[in-house]
Amino acid sequence: MLSLTQEQVEVLKSIDGGADIFAHGAATLLRGLERTHPGLLRIVEAQGKYCAIGPTPYFGAILTAAGRRACRRARATARR
């Protein structure tokens, strides 16, 4: 059975619907999840257009249907 930490669940929920990842900690967590549980998310090109002067994202990420189910199961397990 897949076991996710609260921190992993939170970062996965933050990419539901797609998001550009600017924070190093979130990028590291998502890359780790991509390696250990590749079906939970998709790493993609950044989805927005950004000016070269400001901050730029590491990458874009999208939560998959399997990722949503895993988050729901993790929350239900945490409530017990």
**Is the residue at 48 inside a domain?**
yes
- Whole domain around residue 66: which residue ranges? 6-79
Check residue 51 and give its pLDDT.
84
Per-residue confidence in pLDDT tens, the chain, 80 aa: 688 999 999 999 999 999 999 999 999 999 999 999 999 999 999 988 888 888 999 999 999 999 999 999 998 887 76
**Is the residue at 40 inside a domain?**
yes
> Both tokens of residue 76?
């239900």
C-beta separation of 26 from 11 below 8 A: yes
Check residue 70 and give its pLDDT.
95
The CATH number of the domain holding residue 68 is 1.10.10
Indicate the number of domains in the chain.
Answer: 1
**Is the residue at 22 inside a domain?**
yes
Closest by CA position to 74, among listed 25, 30, 8, 17: 8
Check residue 2 and give its pLDDT.
80
Check residue 1 and give its pLDDT.
61
